[in-house]
Amino acid sequence: MYMSNLYIETPTLLSEPLSLTAGKPVWLKLEALQPSGSFKLRGVSLLCQQELARGARGFVSSSGGNAGIAVAYVGRKLGVPVRVVVPETTSEVARQLIRAEGAELIVHGESWFEANAYVQESLAWDEAFIHPFDHPLLWQGHSSLIYEVVQCGIKPSVVVLSVGGGGLLCGAVEGMQRVGWHDVPVLAMETEGAESFAAARAAGRAVRLPAITSIASSLGARQVCDQALTWADQHPVISEVVSDAAALIACERLLQDHRLLVEPACGAALAAVTESSKHLQSAESILVIVCGGVTMTDVQMRQLLVD
């Protein structure tokens, strides 16, 4: 079967404003420009195409966020029916985006836990469940963004990214290992109240957070995937946690500097630069993965800045 690319090759932009702030080159990998609005499309499109080749006749997601939207987008492009089961807490904006892709939206349960349980028990034999972050093909798909940076002739001295369940981290590190960037550390950013990776690193084992209290909903996995912790033992990975406010200010800064609106989940990575992280002090150049996010609106951004 021909594997067409449903994601786009995104620009690797030298941010003049952020470079002036940091006093060194800051490159932005603009995953916010993906057709589905986030990097998720890279891995999700690869996994969905593999499942289709294996005979799947439908895709099912339990994510009301960017993963669900990516699955819905891929389903529309491939002509495969998609069901997205979300909890009652999922915003109207996200619900509309999922419906607009032609997916069947099912609202079930109080939290993601109940929505996901419903997906698992209602899965038909010919439907494929598409996990939001924990699958080797997702990581392989995400890793393509590193190859694109290499093709631009860029090798940064640090890669900054956000961590939710750790899918982006696994994909980026996989790509970095493949291209020989063994010496380039990853700065893994989270917000307070969604710091599942930082908690696991501190404990030296997988940890489940009791609850998610951050506004960065796309970082809201209570536990990171095991592979993220495995990579952290095999590749230099530094963990840092910022406040919701810092992530939000970084979003506002990106909007002003580059006319791009992203979610607080993405702002967490940008905050490493805008808050002058001590982990970036000795770096000669910085690559930030601007992972995107479509559930943030201009109205919501202004609201959050007031609160």
**Geometric angle at alpha carbon 31, from 28 and 33, rounded to 5°:** 110
Q: Binding ligand PLP by CB under 6 A: which of 164, 212, 247, 272?
A: 164
Q: Taking the chain, what is the end-to-end CA distance rounded to the nearest angstrom?
A: 51
Q: Which stretch binds ligand PLP (CB under 6 A): 54-62, 73-81, 247-255, 287-295?
A: 287-295
Torsions phi, psi of 174, nearest 5? -55, -45
Q: Does 291 bind ligand PLP (CB under 6 A)?
A: yes
User: Among residue numbers 121 through 150, which ones bind ligand PLP (CB under 6 A)?
Assistant: 133
Residues 6 or more apart from 112 whose CB is under 8 A from it? 62, 63, 64, 87, 220
99 vs 102: CA distance, rounded Å: 5
166 vs 161: CA distance, rounded Å: 10
Q: Does 239 bind ligand PLP (CB under 6 A)?
A: no
Judged by beta carbon, residue 15 or residue 63, the one nearer ligand PLP is 63
Which token pair is 55?
Answer: 């005979």
Q: Does 293 bind ligand PLP (CB under 6 A)?
A: yes
242 vs 278: CA distance, rounded Å: 12
Q: Binding ligand PLP by CB under 6 A: which of 137, 163, 173, 289?
A: 163
One-letter amino acid of 35 = P
Nearest-approach distance from CB 42 to ligand PLP, in angstroms: 11
User: Among residue numbers 5 through 64, which ones bind ligand PLP (CB under 6 A)?
Assistant: 38, 40
Burial zone of 157 (CB within 10 Å; 0-12 exposed, 13-18 middle, 19+ buried): middle
Q: Which stretch binds ligand PLP (CB under 6 A): 14-22, 110-118, 161-169, 240-248?
A: 161-169
Question: How far are the Cα atoms of 188, 264, 265 from residue 199, in angstroms, in the given order?
Answer: 12, 20, 17
Judged by beta carbon, residue 75 or residue 164, the one nearer ligand PLP is 164
User: Among residue numbers 186 through 225, which ones bind ligand PLP (CB under 6 A)?
Assistant: 218-219, 221
Judged by beta carbon, residue 82 or residue 194, the one nearer ligand PLP is 194
Within 82-124, residue ranges assigned H as helices are 92-100, 112-122
Judged by beta carbon, residue 26 or residue 169, the one nearer ligand PLP is 169
Number of residues interacting with ligand PLP: please give it, by CB under 6 A: 22
Q: Which stretch binds ligand PLP (CB under 6 A): 122-130, 232-240, 246-254, 261-269?
A: 261-269
One-letter amino acid of 236 = P
One-letter amino acid of 65 = G
Q: Which stretch binds ligand PLP (CB under 6 A): 144-152, 156-164, 241-249, 276-284?
A: 156-164
Residues 6 or more apart from 50 whose CB is under 8 A from it? 137
Q: Does 68 bind ligand PLP (CB under 6 A)?
A: no
Give residues in contact with ligand PLP (CB under 6 A): 38, 40, 65-66, 133, 162-169, 218-219, 221, 263, 265-266, 291-293
